C-alpha cells in the first residue's frame, strides 16, 4: 500500500496538482534557482530540503506569489499560477515565525482569511470553530498571539491557513522555532493533520531528520538546483550523488577504482556493475558490521580511533589500512575497540555521482 502510494507519487502521479516548469529566479546577477522542474501530486507531502542559501525559501515564495520567477512557469490544477497575485491563489502559507496578527485574537486571526474572501458571517464562524478544533486551540480563541506559547502559535498559524481550504499549503520552516521535544511532537501531529485534511503540503526545511519523518517525497535542493527528488527511504538507501549521501544521514564515501567489474579501494575489493575508472561509493555506517562468516561480504582490518555514544547506537570511527577513515554504527556500546575485523555487503555500497564542489 505504502509502496504503491510512493510509486504513484514518484513523478507526481499521472495527474499532478502542481507543475513547475524550468523555473529560474535571479536577483540581479545572482541566480538563486536554476531550471527547476518538479511535479507534485494531489494530497502529497513534499519536503524541499536544503541548506541555508540553497534557494528553498525563494522557491516557496514563488509558489505563494511573493516573488515572480525570472523564467519558467508554475501550473496548478490546469491553471497557470505565476501571473496571479498571492490573494487570488488557492495557496496558503504557514510563515516561519507564524506572522500572526498581533492586534487580533486567535479567533480573529483565523477568521481573517474567510472574512477577506467575503465568506458569510455564519459560515466563517463555523469554519473557524472547525479549524480551531482541528488544531486543539478552541479554548484559546479569545487570546492574543503574544499570550500563547510558540507551539500554540504554530497551531493557530496552521488553523489560519487551513480554514481557507487551500489546494496547496506551504510551510516555511514551521518547526524551526520550537524546542527539540516539541518539534518531534509537532512533526507527528503535522503529518497526521496532513493525512486527515488531504491537502497537498509543501514544507521547506534545512533539517534532514524532519524531512525524513514527515514527507512522502523529498526534493533536495543544492545551490539553486534540484539534486535529487525521491521518497525518504529511496533517497536514504539509494542516494544519487555524493552530496545527497552526505547531506541525508551519515555516509562513508569510498573512492574506488573499477577494473573488469571489480571495485578496489585499499585492501577491499568487490564485484560491481559500474563503468571502468575512478568512481565513488556511498556506504552507510550501519552497513558496516563486525566480521561474520557471511559469504560474499567484503572483509577488512581496522583500528578503532574513537567513538561517540548516541543513545540507541554508537558511532565509531575506524582507520583502515591505507589511512582511510570510516564511520561505523554499532548497536552495542563498547563492542568495537582496538584492532577489529569488519565487513559489509557489496550491495550496500551504492554507486553515487560525484557532486561538484
Partner 1 sequence: MFSRAYKIWVTVPPLVWVAAFLVLPYTLMFAYSFWSVSAVGSLRHAWNFANYGRLLGHEVYRQTLLRSAWIAARVMLFALLLAYPLAYLLSFHTRKGKDLLYQLVIIPLWVSYLVRAYAWKTILGTDGVLNTSLQYLHLTTHPLHFLLYSPFAIVLTLTHIYIPFTFLPVYAAMEHIPRNLIEASHDLGASALQTFWRIIVPLSMPGVVAGATFAFVLSFGDFLAPLLLGGPSGVMISNIVVSLFGAAYNWPLGAAISFCMLALVIALLWLSERLEKRWARS
Q: Would you give the binding string for partner 1 spanning residues 153-182, x where CB under 8 A is met?
A: -------xx--x------------------
User: Is 119 or 352 the residue whose CB approaches partner 1 more closely?
Assistant: 119
The C-alpha atoms of residue 208 and residue 166 are separated, in whole angstroms, by: 26
Three cell numbers, residue 57: 525559501
| DSSP state for residue 348 in the 8-state scheme | G
Q: How far apart are CA 334 and CA 316, in angstroms?
A: 9
Contact between 97 and partner 1 per CB under 8 A:
yes
Does residue 27 bind partner 1 (CB under 8 A)? no
Distance CA 245, CA 340 (A): 26
Question: Does 103 interact with partner 1 (rule: CB under 8 A)?
Answer: yes
- Plot region of 258 (φ>0 → left; ψ -120 to 50 → alpha; else → beta): beta
- Answer for which of 1, 146, 312, 357 binds partner 1 (CB under 8 A) is 146
Minimum distance from CB of 132 to partner 1 (Å)? 15
- The strand pairing partners of 149, in sequence order, are none
CB of 127 to partner 1, least distance (A): 13
Within 51-90, which residues bind partner 1 (CB under 8 A)?
64-66, 85-87
- Regarding 101 and contact with partner 1 (CB under 8 A), the answer is yes
One of 144, 184, 191, 299 touching partner 1 (CB under 8 A) = 144
Beta-bridged to residue 174, according to DSSP, are none
Which part of the chain contacts partner 1 (CB under 8 A), choosing from 29-37, 93-101, 276-284, 337-345? 93-101
Q: Does 113 bind partner 1 (CB under 8 A)?
A: yes
C-alpha of 215 from chain center: 6
CA 199 from centroid of its chain's CA atoms? 18
CB–CB of 219/46 below 8 Å? Answer: yes
Site residues for partner 1 per CB under 8 A: 64-66, 85-87, 91-93, 95-97, 99-103, 112-113, 116-117, 144-146, 160-161, 164
Amino acid at each position: 500500500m505504502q509502496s504503491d502510494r510512493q510509486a504513484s507519487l514518484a513523478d507526481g502521479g499521472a495527474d499532478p496538482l502542481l507543475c513547475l516548469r524550468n523555473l529560474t529566479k535571479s536577483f540581479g546577477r545572482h541566480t538563486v534557482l536554476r531550471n527547476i522542474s518538479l511535479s507534485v501530486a494531489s494530497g502529497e507531502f513534499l519536503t524541499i530540503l536544503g541548506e541555508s542559501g540553497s534557494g528553498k525559501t525563494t522557491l516557496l515564495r514563488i509558489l505563494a506569489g511573493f516573488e515572480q520567477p525570472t523564467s519558467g512557469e508554475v501550473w496548478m490544477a490546469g491553471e497557470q499560477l505565476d501571473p496571479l497575485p498571492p490573494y487570488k491563489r488557492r495557496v496558503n502559507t504557514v510563515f516561519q515565525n507564524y506572522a500572526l496578527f498581533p492586534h487580533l485574537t486567535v479567533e480573529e486571526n483565523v477568521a481573517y482569511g474567510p472574512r477577506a474572501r467575503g465568506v458569510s458571517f455564519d459560515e466563517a464562524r463555523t469554519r473557524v470553530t472547525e479549524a480551531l478544533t482541528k488544531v486543539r486551540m478552541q479554548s484559546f480563541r479569545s487570546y492574543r498571539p503574544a499570550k500563547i506559547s510558540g507551539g500554540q502559535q504554530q497551531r493557530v498559524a496552521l488553523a489560519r491557513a487551513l480554514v481557507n481550504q487551500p489546494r496547496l499549503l506551504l510551510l516555511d520552516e514551521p518547526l524551526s522555532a520550537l524546542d527539540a521535544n516539541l518539534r518531534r511532537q509537532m512533526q507527528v501531529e503535522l503529518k497526521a493533520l496532513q493525512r486527515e485534511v488531504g491537502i497537498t503540503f509543501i514544507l521547506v526545511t534545512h533539517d534532514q531528520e524532519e524531512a525524513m519523518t514527515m514527507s512522502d517525497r523529498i526534493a533536495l535542493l543544492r545551490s539553486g538546483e534540484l539534486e535529487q527528488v525521491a521518497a525518504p527511504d529511496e533517497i536514504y538507501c539509494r542516494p544519487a550523488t555524493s552530496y545527497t549521501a552526505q547531506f541525508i544521514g551519515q555516509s562513508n564515501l569510498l573512492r574506488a577504482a573499477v577494473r573488469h567489474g571489480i571495485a578496489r579501494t585499499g585492501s577491499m575489493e568487490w564485484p560491481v556493475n559500474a563503468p571502468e575508472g575512478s568512481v565513488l561509493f556511498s556506504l552507510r555506517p550501519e552497513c558496516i558490521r563486525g566480521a561474520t562468516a557471511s559469504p560474499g561480504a567484503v572483509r577488512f582490518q581496522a583500528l578503532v580511533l574513537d567513538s561517540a555514544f548516541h543513545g540507541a547506537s554508537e558511532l565509531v570511527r575506524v582507520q583502515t589500512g591505507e589511512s582511510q577513515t570510516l564511520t561505523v554504527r554499532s548497536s552495542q556500546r563498547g563492542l568495537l575497540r582496538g584492532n577489529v575485523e569488519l565487513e559489509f555487503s557489496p550491495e550496500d555500497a551504492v554507486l553515487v555521482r560525484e557532486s561538484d564542489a
